[in-house]
């Protein structure tokens, strides 16, 4: 597989079979960051492994820093980004957890690091399979988060992320998430983008400041106490708000260059739907399959897939749900608030700020890689149908798909 | 000594400091409880105080110790302690 990935000659006319991890490694090859500091962890390992091949074979000129832990990986990335170079890493689950301290520092120091994250259940008990508990834990760390439905999206989102992170009005690090094993190890036919066009799209990275610029010396990371810390946090809030306005510009250019139709959210047969499911990443693909099936039976069902979760595209989501009578939010992680998963509480908060009031319920599913089947999704749509018909809601707000009672 | 604090719009992002050597603008003299003062004993200009002062607050001109930089001296008393002739006294700040 690596051989195929390393040989882009045949890529112009036909699809190339690749896993999600290989696709992201290929995106990194095309981006050719100046520095990559990473530590392997299942199921992200293949990203680092394949990218190391590109480095070892001289395909890219990237400075690869093999570190002894994820804490060091993100620390090295912070140092490299502060030095003013394009910097990337990749991780999963416990690796992300070990980075935690520096994950916050990367965001608050406003370093445009791009990090593919292959979603995996966060221990314990220890588990290597997919859920979103790792990145959902970092949703308030100040990173932009993009969730990818399949390998194609993971590949393209990685390229997109570079431009978003480095935008002068944003300057925030970006996580590009894909589902562990389901996407990262599943083989898909990938449509690869022209490398010249990719390089033109991302352009040359010109940092405002560099630690190595002795003519314009700067200090990164000084002590920041009661008198200015708050102002720096305020700048971070404003940068995230800016991202809501600036990301569409980047998306527009991406769509124009590569013939795509990306937005903050993706909707599927939602315009005239009475009931809808909201889901992130690969599950959205399964929901589309079920939507098609139920539409054939005449049921008005649809899907809303938030693609960018941070910043949270509230207005787009409210607008997309304006005709929906009931909505089910699928969460592949628990937040242990006793009020449902993180996506659900976020959607509910958005609805409070709107003029619409669809009935909403939450379904926690797929923790630790538990499979979700079309039948499960059909059951959710069935519940929604009953929810619309019922005068009084008796079903629980938070449900658990596939957990044995 | 108190400068007007800037808004979030006026400062570099990420807590970055874009001016070299600006630590001298931070007036640490306000922290002082005891202030160093020369007494009547004759200073021998050995410059031990200048060497040991952690805040570079001993003013030296023409190789002679001529006084203290009270805008930055935090009053730690090291100068008084190391002076071999004991010509520096630490006096409590009045207000």
Contact B11 A228 (CB under 8 A): yes
Give me the domains of chain B, ranges plus CATH numbers.
26-92 (3.30.70.20)
Contact B15 A217 (CB under 8 A): no
Taking the CA of residue A168 and the nearest CA in chain B, the distance in Å comes to 11
Residues of chain A in contact with residue B20, where contact means CB-CB under 8 angstroms, are: 217
d(CA A40, CA B66) in angstroms, rounded, equals 61
pLDDT on residue B82:
98
pLDDT band at A394 (very low <50, low <70, confident <90, very high): confident
A·B CB contacts under 8 A? 48
d(CA A120, CA A130) in angstroms, rounded, equals 4
* pLDDT, mean of residues A249-260: 97
The predicted model scores a pTM of 0.91
B8 touches chain A (CB under 8 A): yes
Asked if A374 and A293 count as a contact pair (C-beta separation under 8 A), the reply is yes
pLDDT on residue B95:
67
Q: Kindly tell me the burial class for residue A388, based on how many C-beta atoms sit within 10 Å of its own C-beta (0-12, 13-18, 19 or more).
A: middle
Contact B8 A238 (CB under 8 A): yes
CA distances for A236 relative to A140, A395, B88, angstroms? 11, 40, 49
Q: For chain A, what percentages of helix, strand and coil (3-state, to nearest 5) are there?
A: 45, 15, 40
Chain A from 367 to 386: CB within 8 A of any B CB = none
d(CA A246, CA A238) in angstroms, rounded, equals 12
A111 touches chain B (CB under 8 A): yes
pLDDT on residue A14:
76
Contact A232 B20 (CB under 8 A): no
* pLDDT of A2 above 70: no
d(CA A326, CA A59) in angstroms, rounded, equals 51
Alpha helices in chain B (DSSP H): 48-52, 78-82
A221 touches chain B (CB under 8 A): yes
- Collect all residues with Cβ–Cβ distance below 8 Å to A167 and sequence separation of at least 6: A243, A246, A250
Number of H helices, E strands in chain B: 2, 4
Q: Closest Cα partner for A311 from A243, A234, A250?
A: A243
Q: Closest Cα partner for A283 from A188, A339, A176, A363?
A: A363
Q: Can you give the length of chain B in residues?
A: 95
Could you write out the DSSP letters of every residue in A239-266?
HHHHHHHHHHHHHHHHHHHHT----SEE
Nearest CA in chain B to A216: B18
Query: pLDDT tens digits for A235-252?
Result: 999 999 999 999 999 999
pLDDT band at A177 (very low <50, low <70, confident <90, very high): very high
d(CA A302, CA A273) in angstroms, rounded, equals 5
* pLDDT of A399 above 60: yes
pLDDT on residue A10:
44
* pLDDT of B20 above 90: no
Residues of chain A in contact with residue B18, where contact means CB-CB under 8 angstroms, are: 209, 216, 218
pLDDT on residue A272:
97
Residues of chain B in contact with residue A213, where contact means CB-CB under 8 angstroms, are: none
* pLDDT, mean of residues B17-36: 92
Nearest by CB to residue B8, choosing from A110, A221, A235, is A235
CA distances for B48 relative to A365, B43, B83, angstroms? 71, 11, 6
pLDDT on residue A11:
43
Contact A209 B18 (CB under 8 A): yes
pLDDT on residue A13:
55
* pLDDT, mean of residues A138-165: 98
Nearest by CB to residue A220, choosing from B7, B8, B16, is B16
A238 touches chain B (CB under 8 A): yes
Number of H helices, E strands in chain A: 13, 15
* pLDDT, mean of residues A39-63: 98
- Collect all residues with Cβ–Cβ distance below 8 Å to A387 and sequence separation of at least 6: A275, A326, A359, A361, A393, A395
pLDDT on residue A264:
98
CA distances for A299 relative to A221, A287, A356, A385, angstroms? 56, 14, 22, 9
* pLDDT, mean of residues A193-218: 95
* pLDDT, mean of residues A154-176: 98
Nearest by CB to residue A231, choosing from B8, B17, B20, is B8
- Collect all residues with Cβ–Cβ distance below 8 Å to A390 and sequence separation of at least 6: none
pLDDT on residue B2:
56
* pLDDT of B66 above 70: yes
d(CA A217, CA A222) in angstroms, rounded, equals 14
d(CA B91, CA B80) in angstroms, rounded, equals 11
pLDDT on residue A391:
76
Residues of chain B in contact with residue A237, where contact means CB-CB under 8 angstroms, are: none
Query: pLDDT tens digits for A103-127?
Result: 999 999 999 999 999 999 999 999 9
Q: Residue A83 is encoded by which pair of tokens?
A: 């030095």
Taking the CA of residue B91 and the nearest CA in chain A, the distance in Å comes to 30
B7 touches chain A (CB under 8 A): yes
* pLDDT of A292 above 80: yes
Chain B from 20 to 49: CB within 8 A of any A CB = 20
């Amino acid at each position: 597989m690596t051989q195929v990935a390393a040989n882009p000659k045949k890529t112009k006319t036909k699809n190339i079979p690749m896993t999600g991890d290989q696709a992201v490694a290929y995106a990194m090859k095309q981006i050719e960051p100046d520095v990559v500091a990473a530590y392997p962890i299942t199921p992200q390992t293949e990203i680092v492994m394949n990218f190391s091949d590109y480095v070892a074979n001289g395909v890219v000129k990237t400075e690869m820093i093999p570190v002894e832990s994820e804490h060091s990986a993100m620390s090295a990335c912070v140092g490299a980004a502060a030095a003013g170079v394009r910097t990337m890493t990749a991780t999963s689950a416990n690796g992300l957890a070990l980075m935690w301290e520096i994950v916050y520092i990367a965001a608050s120091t406003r370093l445009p690091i791009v990090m593919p994250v292959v979603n995996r259940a966060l221990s314990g008990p220890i588990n290597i399979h997919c859920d979103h508990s790792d990145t959902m834990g970092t949703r308030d760390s100040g990173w932009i988060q993009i969730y990818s439905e399949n390998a194609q999206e993971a590949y393209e989102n990685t390229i997109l992320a570079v431009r978003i992170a480095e935008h002068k009005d944003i300057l925030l690090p970006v996580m590009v998430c894909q589902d562990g094993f389901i996407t990262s190890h599943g083989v898909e036919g990938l449509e690869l983008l022209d490398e010249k066009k990719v390089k033109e799209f991302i352009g040359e990275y010109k940092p405002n400041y560099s630690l190595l610029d002795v003519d314009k010396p700067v200090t990164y990371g000084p002590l920041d106490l009661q008198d200015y810390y708050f102002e720096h946090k305020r700048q971070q809030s404003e940068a995230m708000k800016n991202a809501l306005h600036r990301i569409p510009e980047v998306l527009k250019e991406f769509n124009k260059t590569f013939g795509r139709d990306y937005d903050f959210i993706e909707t599927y047969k939602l315009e005239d739907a009475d009931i809808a499911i909201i889901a992130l990443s690969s599950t959205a693909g399964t929901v589309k399959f079920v939507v098609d099936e139920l539409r054939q039976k005449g049921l008005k069902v649809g899907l809303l897939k938030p693609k960018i979760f941070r910043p949270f595209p509230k207005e787009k989501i409210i607008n997309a749900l304006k005709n929906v009578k009931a909505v089910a939010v699928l969460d592949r992680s628990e937040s242990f608030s006793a009020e449902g998963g993180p996506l659900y509480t976020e959607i509910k908060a958005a609805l409070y700020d709107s003029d619409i009031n669809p009935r909403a319920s939450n379904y926690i599913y797929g923790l630790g890689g538990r499979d979700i089947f079309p039948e499960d999704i059909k059951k959710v749509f069935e519940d929604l149908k009953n929810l619309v018909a019922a005068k009084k809601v008796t079903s629980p707000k938070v449900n658990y798909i596939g957990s044995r009672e | 000594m108190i400068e007007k604090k800037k808004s979030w719009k006026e400062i570099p992002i990420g807590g970055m400091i874009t001016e070299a050597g600006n630590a001298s603008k931070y007036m640490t003299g306000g922290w002082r409880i005891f202030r160093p003062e020369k007494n009547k004993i004759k200073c021998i200009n050995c410059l031990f105080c200048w060497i040991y002062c952690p805040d570079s607050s001993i003013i030296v001109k023409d190789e002679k110790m001529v006084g203290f930089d009270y805008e930055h001296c935090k009053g730690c008393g090291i100068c008084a302690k190391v002076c071999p002739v004991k010509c520096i006294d630490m006096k409590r700040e009045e207000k």
